[in-house]
Structure 1
Amino acid sequence: MSLSDDRPADYDLADCWDPVEADEADELADPDEFLRVCAELTGFDVPELRATGMVDEHHRTVLAHRVRDEHALVHLWYVGAWPGEAPSSTRAHDQGLVWRTFRATPPGAAAPGHGSWAEAPPGGTPAIEPSPAGTPRAGTPRPEAPRGGDGR
């Protein structure tokens, strides 16, 4: 059914393909069976998995690997990538179940987006007041001021 838990960290799934296990992998060729198995493994129900919008993409990924590895299936759904590979798309990463589990959004994936820290929030005031022309902004080193009354 699945690969052993004592496999090395750098194992290659292509080297693990077993024609006998291919029959078990072939059962995942049916999209409904694929979803049923994934729901059982991930703890999310079928409608929740469908809501990610990743069913077709993840199904294609599983079929491309031709091996049924429960650990890899869970990894795929939670992280958005087959173990040892980059996510198949940015959307796969952003829709990973890990974010739903933590009730969080992936960094940089949701509004307000890149550069939002440069603007004041709606209805708020900026953390640093804009500096008048010629005046250094906060955090900019200022020239040394003369000390004492004699100008030294």
Structure 2
Amino acid sequence: MIINKILNVDDYYYDVFMAISESLTGFSVNELQSTGLAETYYQHILNQIEMATFIDFLNVSKNVLDNAENKDQLKNAISSQIMDNPATQQIAQSVITLWYLGTWEGAYVNDRSYKEGLVWNVMHAHPPGAKQPGFKSWETKPVNSNS
């Protein structure tokens, strides 16, 4: 897979982080960028774990992304080389949690991370107390409504 240059962040590893985040979360890089938290999350991780550990994770991720020729190979490689690897498993799980819930080791990264968690998109909901669904939204049936 090709890792494209994303935005104007000059850090090579940022592009790898975004590409592996796309594969781990199932959301496109554009969707992840639309949270407005991509650079914040990247910097947060850099401040939370040893840089060498994070770079090792990103190097493994880059190899997985570069060597996969199709989505099935990518899925299998992520499973075997990242999720089943004790050296990368915890970071991968933390990255997934970060994007979906906005938390790192149980704490919210910032005020926006709760509001922009991917979990709300998956649930077709809004974060209670943070983003309201909009005027007269109660008139629209939920997406998966059987009634």
Name the TM tier (shorter chain): 0.5 to 0.7
Alpha-carbon separation, structure 2, partners of 1:34 and 1:112: 31
Match of 1:87 in 2: 108
Q: Residue 74 of structure 1 corresponds to which residue in structure 2?
A: 96
Q: Which amino acid aligns with 1:38?
A: S
The Cα RMSD (Å) is 2.4
Q: Does structure 1 residue 103 correspond to structure 2 residue 86?
A: no
1:40 partner amino acid = S
In the alignment of these two chains, the number of paired residues is 87
Measured in 1, the distance between the counterparts of 2:12 and 2:96 equals 17
Contact 1:80/1:93, CA 8 A, preserved across alignment = yes
1:111 CA drift (Å):
3.5
In structure 1, C-alpha distance between the alignment counterparts of 2:12 and 2:109, rounded to whole Å? 19
Alignment of 1:1-152 (within 5 A): 30-64=13-47, 65-66=49-50, 67=53, 68=57, 69-84=91-106, 86-111=107-132
**Higher alpha-carbon Rg:** 1
Shift of 1:96: 0.4
Cα drift, residue 112 of structure 1: 7.6
From the superposition, tell whether residues 37 and 112 of structure 1 become closer, same or farther in structure 2 (CA, over 3 Å).
closer
Q: What amino acid is the match of 1:57?
A: T
Q: Is the 8 A contact 1:29 1:63 kept in 2?
A: no
Structure 2 length-normalised TM: 0.53
Does the 8 A contact of 2:126 with 2:132 survive in 1? Answer: no
Equivalent pair of 2:19/2:29 in contact (CA under 8 Å): yes
Q: Unpaired segments of 5 or more residues in structure 2?
A: 1-10, 58-90, 137-147
TM-score, normalized by length of structure 1?
Answer: 0.51
The verdict on how the C-alpha distance between 1:29 and 1:79 changes in structure 2, with shifts beyond 3 A counting, is: farther
- In terms of fraction of residues, the more helix-rich structure is 2
**Which residues of structure 1 form unaligned runs of 5+?**
1-27, 114-120, 123-152
Structure 2 CA distance for partners of 1:103 and 1:32, relative to 1, 3 Å: same
| Runs of 4+ deviating beyond 3 Å | none
